[in-house]
């Protein structure tokens, strides 16, 4: 029986879903559609297929602990391949395929972006099963989404002659860039065009061979990066300098488009039509389409009140949001930003994010609540020479042994018990007790208990940035 290896690509930043999605905690880590995060839903989507290995996730170095924890809570054992920086999907898949064949095995890879929504899991698994059977013969398979409207925000795949193998697939004729509306309408009318899903199924060796023909520079760089890397528990770290030299390219551009023209040594390419309620949830209007709605077409989450509104999405992360007499809007409230945008302009949210980055505003990258491998912190207030944070530390969680050049800290325990290292002494601080960490003092915070530790930290000093941390020891391997 063919072994199946799910490969989940989790490198996107989801800027069009700002302010919920941010560079340091992007949309695939958020529960946008259901109770699970989009990454968790992706990993769980193939559940029930026979002879399936634990998932291999490819993600940014900064997201490693959140990704690993989200997979762990699903009860699955997998590996996380870390990219020190993004190089697009072709190198990410190259690393995954090379890792998959390291012990002489050659599984069929089911390559899925971590940030898509698929409503009909059974239909998807059925299509994957047919694609795996086809891929086991050496064919490279992608899925084309059966279009239901002349969408201009997706790329298209033109299907060729039907295959006679019973897979329900077609020869892959060509890829087409995002069209204008008249062209999209002609595609829909012809019945020969499908939306490009970005989901692929192929044997690991087939991808490696095809990449070696089409983009030997990418393959060589990834081989060198993986050879110079190391395994750290469930994490696979590549050599940073070798990967830095790797060109950036997508799976489509690097290989798939070249397969349609054929060539010596290249595998055949096929597309299987998929009707399973697919969405790439690429912008706020796309999220509105997949969410449950009331009779007036409104979708809401959080503390929201609507009066005489139609076709509107309202998301509240905390405060009450009331809308009256509006239509075709998206309103998103978080603890540090509010977005109001018309459905027709949701693709332009990225322009706001670009401006925020140009102005070096942290809201482009960070949420107010920031997750760390030991827990989280929430910046609740800040002013001239001071900052106040709520800090939560998981049972057994340990912050690094560290010091600061420019700030002192005052810690007040709200619940749980803290073990504090301050200079040469170590002691416990319990509820309603506090301690003071002078500027320049080596210190560490731990939760030795079995319940979460929550505390308030008051920082004071001339500079309060997160880069004023000198780490001496760290349980989680951070520099």
CA pair distance 143, 201, nearest whole angstrom: 9
Q: What is the pLDDT of residue 27?
A: 95
Q: How crowded is the C-beta side of 313, counted as CA atoms within 13 Å? A: 22
pLDDT-wise least confident of 152-156, 280-284, 326-330? 152-156
Nearest to 116 by CA among 5, 200, 24, 4: 200
Average of per-residue pLDDT across 402-426: 97
Domain ranges in the chain are 4-279, 284-356, 369-473
pLDDT band at 377 (very low <50, low <70, confident <90, very high): very high
Average of per-residue pLDDT across 216-238: 93
Q: What is the pLDDT of residue 348?
A: 95
pLDDT band at 281 (very low <50, low <70, confident <90, very high): very high
pLDDT band at 14 (very low <50, low <70, confident <90, very high): confident
CATH architecture of 4-279: Alpha-Beta Complex (3.90)
Average of per-residue pLDDT across 76-90: 92
447 or 72, higher pLDDT: 447
Helix orientation angle between 204-214 and 89-100, rounded to the nearest 10 degrees? 130
CA pair distance 151, 155, nearest whole angstrom: 9
Q: What is the pLDDT of residue 214?
A: 95
Residues 63-75: tens digit of each pLDDT: 988 999 899 899 8
CA pair distance 459, 304, nearest whole angstrom: 35
- The answer to whether 91 and 248 have CB atoms below 8 angstroms apart is yes
Q: What is the pLDDT of residue 263?
A: 77
Distances (CA, A) of 145 to 135, 191, 193, 291, 314: 19, 12, 9, 19, 28
Average of per-residue pLDDT across 304-326: 98
Average of per-residue pLDDT across 175-187: 92
Percentage of the chain modeled with pLDDT above 90: 85
For the purposes of burial, counting CB atoms within 10 Å of the CB of 265, is it exposed (0-12), middle (13-18) or buried (19 or more)?
A: exposed
Would you say residue 262 has pLDDT above 80?
Answer: no
pLDDT band at 61 (very low <50, low <70, confident <90, very high): confident
How high is the mean pLDDT of the chain? 94
- Whether the link from the prior residue into 19 is cis, omega within 30° of 0, is yes
Nearest to 440 by CA among 416, 409, 404: 404
Per-residue burial over 446-466, b if 16 or more Cβ lie within 10 Å, else e, is bbebeeebbbebbbebeebee
CA pair distance 83, 64, nearest whole angstrom: 10
Q: What is the pLDDT of residue 1?
A: 66
CA pair distance 457, 476, nearest whole angstrom: 22
Q: What is the pLDDT of residue 452?
A: 97
Average of per-residue pLDDT across 311-332: 98
Strand partners, 299: 313
Strand partners, 443: 402, 422
For the purposes of burial, counting CB atoms within 10 Å of the CB of 125, is it exposed (0-12), middle (13-18) or buried (19 or more)?
A: middle
Residues 369-473: name the CATH superfamily: Jelly Rolls (2.60.120.10)
């Amino acid at each position: 029986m063919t072994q199946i290896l799910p490969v989940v690509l989790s490198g996107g930043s989801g800027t069009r879903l700002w302010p919920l999605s941010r560079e340091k905690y992007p949309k695939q880590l958020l529960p946008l559609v259901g109770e699970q995060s989009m990454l968790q839903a992706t990993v769980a989507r193939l559940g029930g297929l026979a002879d399936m290995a634990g998932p291999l996730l490819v993600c940014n170095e900064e997201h490693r602990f959140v990704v690993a924890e989200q997979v762990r809570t699903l009860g699955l054992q997998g590996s996380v391949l870390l990219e020190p920086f993004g190089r697009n999907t072709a190198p990410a898949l190259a690393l995954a395929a090379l890792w998959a064949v390291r012990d002489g095995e050659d599984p069929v890879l089911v390559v899925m972006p971590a940030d898509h929504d698929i409503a009909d899991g059974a239909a998807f698994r059925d299509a994957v099963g047919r694609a795996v059977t086809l891929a086991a013969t050496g064919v490279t398979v992608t899925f084309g989404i059966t279009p239901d409207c002349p969408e201009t925000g997706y790329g298209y795949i033109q299907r060729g002659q039907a295959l006679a193998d019973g897979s329900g697939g077609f020869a892959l004729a060509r890829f087409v860039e995002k069209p204008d509306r008249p062209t999209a309408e002609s595609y829909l009318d012809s019945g020969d065009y499908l939306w490009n899903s970005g989901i692929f199924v192929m044997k690991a060796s087939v991808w490696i061979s095809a990449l070696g023909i089409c983009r030997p520079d990418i393959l060589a760089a990834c081989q060198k990066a993986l050879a110079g890397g190391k395994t750290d528990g469930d994490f696979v770290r590549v050599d940073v300098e070798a990967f830095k030299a790797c060109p950036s390219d997508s799976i489509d551009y690097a290989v798939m488009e070249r397969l349609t023209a054929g060539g010596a040594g290249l595998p055949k390419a096929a597309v299987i039509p998929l009707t399973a309620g697919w969405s790439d949830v690429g912008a706020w209007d796309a999220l509105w389409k997949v969410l449950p709605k009331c009779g007036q077409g409104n979708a809401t989450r959080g503390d929201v009140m609507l009066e005489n509104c139609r076709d509107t999405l309202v998301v509240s992360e905390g405060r009450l949001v009331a809308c009256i007499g509006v239509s075709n809007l998206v309103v998103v409230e978080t603890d540090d930003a509010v977005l109001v945008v018309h459905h027709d302009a949701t693709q332009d949210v990225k322009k706001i994010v670009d401006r925020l980055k140009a102005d070096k505003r942290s809201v482009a990258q960070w949420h107010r609540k920031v997750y760390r491998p030991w827990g989280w912190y929430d910046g609740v207030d800040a002013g001239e020479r001071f900052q106040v944070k709520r800090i939560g530390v998981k049972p057994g969680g340990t912050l690094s042994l560290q010091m600061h050049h420019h700030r002192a800290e005052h810690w007040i325990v709200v619940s749980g018990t803290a073990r504090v290292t301050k200079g040469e002494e170590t002691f416990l601080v319990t509820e309603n007790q506090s301690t003071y960490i002078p500027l320049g003092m080596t210190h560490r915070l731990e939760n030795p208990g079995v319940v979460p530790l929550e505390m308030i930290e008051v920082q004071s000093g001339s500079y309060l940035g997160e880069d004023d941390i000198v780490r001496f020891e760290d349980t989680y391997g951070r520099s």
